[in-house]
Structure 1
Amino acid sequence: MVWVRGRLASTVSLSSTDIDLCQPESVDALRGVLHENDSLVIISALTPDKGKDVGTCMRNIQMGKHFSTTLEHSHCGHVVYIGSDAVYDDNANPVQETSCASPTGLHGLMHFVREQMLKHVVQQTKVPLMILRPSLLYGAGDTHNGYGPNRFLRLAKEGQPITLFGGGEEKRDHVYVKDVSRVTGLCLRHRSEGILNVATGSSVSFFDIAQIAVRLSGTDAEIKCLPRSNPITHRHFDITANLKAFPSFRYTPMEFGLSETFKHLTRVDR
């Protein structure tokens, strides 16, 4: 959230080392740093690379219980919750904010449950709540190394083969992580409330992303294809709500975002 920090009067970033939201005592700890006119941005979650089991899901819901309990007893000025487009059915196309929330996995389910917790609380406290649902993210600082742009760039940089499922023909809407910060900053500035998907409106195949990664790397990294075990699914977004909310905002073109990410990877490894 560097973009946000650089444009707001005062910010406090809290990691799990500062306040562990999995622990009950986090309620009092968070209340101790939250003031009446503060805006609270919630991005805390155990991501799927940390576990896709019921236990991980329940720990995430426990976090939701604790920050929701905090908000029941501490009035702040604004809440922004950064969740995930995983709350939508995998077959929803094109995805809109009005699309039915019908998560097919535990990660999406826990985000939906946490959204409902927050909605319940702010109905009582009358604090404006903005729920952001980003699509797949890429960019500097990624620690997940999941299937997609960040992994492809790392592999290509090392000249290692990039392995795709099937022919890599599945299309997804990938969002540059700095754009999520920029959208968050706009929501904070306007004290926005409601639900907004964070997506570019342009879906690109994994094969095309792999090709860009190899081209940027300047290596001879090979693109390999594994036999497909699951049906092909695409995800597209209708970003009309984005355009109406922030008419002058423009998402970073994928090739430029990948280039910036690759430059960061190169600097880090020097």
Structure 2
Amino acid sequence: MISNRLIIIGKNSYIGSYFSKYASSIGSNVISLSSLDCNFLEVTEVKQFFTSLSNTETYTIVFLATINRWVDNSFNSFNQNLEIVNNLITGCQLANIQSIIYFSSVDVYGSKPILPITEETKVNPDSWYGLAKYACEWVLLSSGQIQCPVTVLRIPGIYGKSTNDKSVVSKMVSSLKNNRKVVIQGTGKNQRDYVYINDLCLLLQSLLPLQYQGILNVATGHSVSINDIVQLAGKILSIEFERIYESAAPVREFDLMFDISLISSLVPNFRFSDLEEGIQSYL
């Protein structure tokens, strides 16, 4: 259970909807917001929400509101993502906010990161979304406008059966079940490190009381090729299937491998699930 009252902003997102239910199930006092409850692109709505909070309670924010790259990956979305975070800062000045967990992305590293990736790896975003996430991180951590601890989580990809699951693994499983084939962009040899959504919730439960100030890569430390993920999913589902390879832009043919020493030092008893266990959630 989390001691401060918990505000989850982005409750209709994949992670937000899952974590809202999880946090409530462990007895946390949760306020969950969607853009219909409070649109963080509208500063007036943000001010109204934060001024409505009790002056006698303390709050922890899990912030998931964003314009995702598959919705819009443009200069306009870059500006909107910065506006969302600027409005968050404005709101936080009106209430007793004890800490913030902000969801960022490994897109900040771009498509040519030096491996293994650590929190000290040079950022090199090559998309408007990646640049927006890095800019938002900087504003929250380094601008001096936030007076409470901010934990920035850089996410490589979350999967696990739940509402709004649009993960790569979910798409693979759906294609296997419905079509008995999987379309793979490129060679399929590129390595990825995906995190099971239930593990993410358990990790958040451990991180929230720490009120850590800084950046954390959320990864298992065990990367697997797309080809091997497909093979494992087919085996778990007991389905014979066809692989179809399609050409992909060379910029997308890269590996993601992580050194998770920092997060392991913060939560030394935490263990990530095996990929096989996570895929079984789709059965």
Cα distance in 1, alignment partners of residues 182 and 163 from structure 2: 18
Task: Assess if the C-alpha contact under 8 Å between 2:89 and 2:146 holds in 1.
Answer: no
Q: Could you say which residue in structure 1 is the equivalent of 2:257? A: 236
Instruction: Kindly state the Cα deviation for residue 179 of structure 1 after the two structures are TM-superposed.
Output: 1.7
1:1-270 to structure 2, matched below 5 A, reads 1=19, 2-35=21-54, 36-92=57-113, 93-120=115-142, 123-141=144-162, 143=164, 145=166, 148-230=168-250, 232-260=253-281, 262-263=282-283
Structure 2 equivalent of residue 267 of structure 1: none
Structure 1 residues 95 and 70: CA distance shift in structure 2, 3 A: same
Q: Is the 8 A contact 2:190 2:226 kept in 1?
A: yes
* Range 68-77 or range 27-36, more displaced: 27-36
Unaligned runs of 5+ in 2: 1-18
Contact 1:49 1:144 in 2 (8 A): no
C-alpha change, 1:34 and 1:252, in structure 2 (3 Å) is: farther
Assess, with a 3 A threshold, how the Cα gap between structure 1 residues 57 and 142 changes in structure 2: closer, same or farther: farther
Contact 2:89 2:145 in 1 (8 A): no
Instruction: Give the CA deviation at 1:135.
Output: 1.2
TM-score scaled by structure 1? 0.88
Range moving further from structure 2, 234-243 or 222-231: 222-231
The change in CA–CA distance for 1:178 and 1:29 in structure 2 (over 3 A counts) is farther
Q: How big is the shift at 1:80?
A: 1.0
Secondary structure in 2 matching 1:73: coil
Q: Aligned to 2:43, what secondary structure does the other structure show?
A: coil
SS of the counterpart of 1:41?
strand
| CA apart distance, 1:8 | 4.7
Shift >6 Å, 4+ stretches? none
Amino acid at match of 2:67: L
Contact 1:27 1:66 in 2 (8 A): yes
TM superposition shift of 1:142: 5.7
Deviation at 1:34, TM superposition (A): 4.1
Deviation (angstroms), 1:174: 0.8
**Inter-CA distance 154–33: structure 2 relative to 1 (3 Å threshold):** farther
> Could you state the TM-score of these two structures normalised by the residue count of structure 2?
0.85
- 2:5 aligns with none
Note the residue ranges of structure 1 that are not aligned, 5 or more in a row: 264-270
3-state SS, counterpart of residue 231 of structure 2:
helix
**Identity %, equivalent residues:** 23
- Name the amino acid aligned to 2:218: V
Residue 3 of structure 2 is matched in structure 1 by: none
Q: Deviations over 1:120-164 (max 9, x none)?
A: 46x355311111111111112363635x21110111111342111
Distance 1:14 1:229, change over 3 A: closer
Describe the shift of the 1:166–1:61 C-alpha distance in structure 2 as closer, same or farther (beyond 3 A). Answer: same
Aligned partners of 2:38 and 2:46 also within 8 Å: no
**3-state SS of paired residue (2:179):** coil
In 1: Cα distance, 2:125 partner to 2:96 partner: 31
The Cα of 1:247 is off from its aligned counterpart by 0.4
CA–CA separation in structure 1 for the residues paired with 2:146 and 2:169: 41
> What SS class does the counterpart of residue 192 from structure 1 fall into?
coil
Deviates more, 1:39-48 or 1:184-193: 184-193
User: 64-73 or 32-41: which moved more?
Assistant: 32-41
**2:274, 2:129 → 1: CA distance?**
28
- Cα gap change, 1:233/1:110 in structure 2, threshold over 3 Å: closer, same or farther? same
Q: CA RMSD in A?
A: 2.0
